[in-house]
Structure 1
Amino acid sequence: MTNNLENSNYTNEVCNVLNDLRKKIPLVQCITNYVTINDCANILLSYGASPAMCEAYDEVFDFAKISSALYINVGTLTKEQEEAAVLASISAKVNNTPVVLDPVACAAIPRKNSVIKRILELGRVDVIKGNIGEIKFLAGEASEVRGVDSLDNGEGALDSCMLLAKKYNCVVAATGKEDYITDGSRSAIIKNGTDMLTKVTGAGCMVGALCAATAGAYEDKFISTVCAILSMNLSGEEAYEMCKVPGSFRVKLIDCIYTLSTEKIMKEGNILWQ
């Protein structure tokens, strides 16, 4: 187990994700919640991707064909979004487009689970990214949640991620005070981050969008997911150093995503690899 990214065999791969993303400018189709849709679009632009908030039922199948990745967030799920998300995931399966699924509030609202189940059964999912409470719930474990927020302390989170990753043959990431990512064989625990990310609406949605961006630019979805979450956490740390209040922090977060460098990733990334 290694606790410093600079000394890890994965160093170059994680940095390559960011380099490849900024060269390829992946087109990321987003079917996401209305509370944070603008933040997701702006953080994707700042990261080096091209966002398309395409969710109309009559358009999503064709748009998924030309997209580099599809991000599905069920946070404010309307009936049209529900059908559009399922249809887009089917198109992604047919057209080999990577999909990131964000099961927002699945532990609090039962209806969301029927939609998630349809996506998993009919479509394609490469990455499931949720908070610890959501991931534990999907794994059938006891979890503590309050609406869209996880109150879980993280105990057993990696085991839940492993269970889901093996069940659905995908990468699973659980975010919290520490972030857990696994593909069922390789695992990483990211120890970077700041509590200020919990004071800004949509930080989880934004990191889900970043996961889709990296998935659209890099073949290894485990490494790409690590890069996306690490990018968010490092940028959050830097933004917090500049300002200690939520409103200004939110603006600086997007600025810091824009200026994030591979040198910063190498120097400041703090990850336990397993």
Structure 2
Amino acid sequence: MITNSDNSSYSNNVCEVLNDLRKKVPLVQCITNYVTINDCANILLSYGASPAMCEAYDEVFDFTKISSALYINVGTLTKEQEEAAVLAAISAKVNNTPVVLDPVACAAIPRKNSIIKRILELGRVDVIKGNIGEIKFLAGDACEVRGVDSLDSGEGALESCIALAQKYNCVVAATGKDDFITDGNRSAIIQNGTEMLTKITGAGCMVGALCAATAGVYEDKLISTVCAILSMNLAGEEAYEMCRLPGSFRVKLIDCIYTLSEEKIKKEGRIIWQ
């Protein structure tokens, strides 16, 4: 059950986000990495959103204008993608389009940080979603990473999230064994999930795409981000109960996102509000 002794309204709102999303069917523009682009598109469709993998430099400014939200994932950026990501973020700022930034491998590849800095300085970012290692790195704290993967235990993760959220005036989410989400004032810790999510490629990217989908339909980005991450974790738990091999798990994960209900979120979500 959702732990919400003093924050029942927050938890009730989390349960409502999914219904809002499926009614509104947000158009989610994705500039994401080539390894997981198909996974992101499929999980968005199953969740109830409309994905658009629009990344051409000559198209992104205008497309961002008509989108419900923009998801930027810096995992495998080419030079054109890099410039397109910055231009799309600028368009989002001009056109009031919510943006989710996924700083993939920022702790391992220095070039990523110059791109992230440009996006934050020139454009708009509503949510920064990364693994614990990436978020701690962006906050200037010590972290343990291996390439795109976090090896960090999670100690001090919430403090890093709060510092980063206050610095950029946005919501920050760090995913790991526990997931930490904050807007710098309010915070939530999600204790759902399964280790099997670490055995498939793209789980983090799919979560980022879902965060963009919910951001596109709900004004409170803390609540929308909590809903997206909790949705992924609950679908992962259910998929793992059905099959415990990674290939089959990936297929079932998409199925379970499709069948996810508000009732399941309310009944099985484990959230600590702070």
Shorter-chain TM-score bucket reads over 0.9
Task: Give the superposed CA RMSD.
Answer: 1.2
Q: Who is 1:29 aligned against? A: 29
Q: Residue 69 of structure 1 aligns to which amino acid in structure 2?
A: A
Over 3 Å counting, the alpha-carbon distance change for 1:52 and 1:3 in structure 2 is closer
Q: Which amino acid aligns with 1:164?
A: L
Q: Within 5 Å, which residues of 2 pair with 1:185-196?
A: 185-196=185-196
Q: Is the Cα contact below 8 Å between 2:2 and 2:11 reproduced in 1?
A: no
Q: Secondary structure at the match of 1:227?
A: helix
Q: CA deviation at 1:11?
A: 2.4
Partner of 2:135: 135
1:3 Cα deviation (Å)? 5.8
- For 2:167, the equivalent position in structure 1 comes to 167
The number of aligned residues is: 273
Q: Could you tell me how far 1:81 is from its partner in structure 2?
A: 0.5
2:126, 2:181 → 1: CA distance? 13
Distance across 2 between alignment mates of 1:267 and 1:8: 13
In the aligned structure 1, how far is the partner of 2:220 from the partner of 2:49? Answer: 18
- Residue segments in structure 2 that go unaligned for 5+ positions in a row: none
Alignment of 1:88-107 (within 5 A): 88-107=88-107
* 1:117 match: secondary structure: helix
List aligned pairs for 1:10-25, cutoff 5 A.
10-25=10-25
Alignment of 1:1-274 (within 5 A): 4=3, 8-274=8-274
- In structure 2, what residue type is equivalent to 1:91? S
**Residue identity matched to 1:132:** I
Query: 2: CA distance between counterparts of 1:5 and 1:18?
Result: 19
One-letter amino acid of the counterpart of residue 232, structure 2: M
- In the alignment, the residues of structure 2 paired with residue 116 and residue 4 of structure 1 have an alpha-carbon distance, to the nearest angstrom, of 34
| Distance in 2 of aligned mates of 1:111 and 1:80 | 15
- The offset of 1:194, in angstroms, is 0.1
Runs of 4+ in 1 over 2 A off after TM superposition: 2-9
Deviation at residue 5 of structure 1 after TM alignment: 5.4
Residue identity matched to 2:21: L
Separation in structure 1 between the aligned mates of residue 49 and residue 248 of structure 2, nearest angstrom: 23
Q: Is the 8 A contact 2:2 2:266 kept in 1?
A: no
Describe the SS at the equivalent of 2:71.
strand
What do the CA deviations read for 1:15-57 (whole angstroms, capped 9, x no partner)?
1110100000000000000000000000000000000000000
Answer whether contact 1:5 1:266 (CA < 8 A) is retained: no
1:69 and 1:146 mapped to 2: Cα distance? Answer: 30
Structure 2 Cα separation of the partners of residues 10 and 134 of structure 1: 27
Contact 1:70 1:98 in 2 (8 A): yes
Q: Could you tell me which amino acid in structure 2 is paired with residue 4 of structure 1?
A: T
Deviation track 1:185-243 (CA, whole Å, cap 9, x = no partner) reads 00000000000000010000000000000000101000000000000000000000000
Distance 2:54 2:161 in 1: 29
Q: Is the 8 A contact 1:144 1:152 kept in 2?
A: yes
SS in 1 for 2:9: coil
Q: Contact 1:5/1:270 (CA < 8 Å) preserved in 2?
A: no
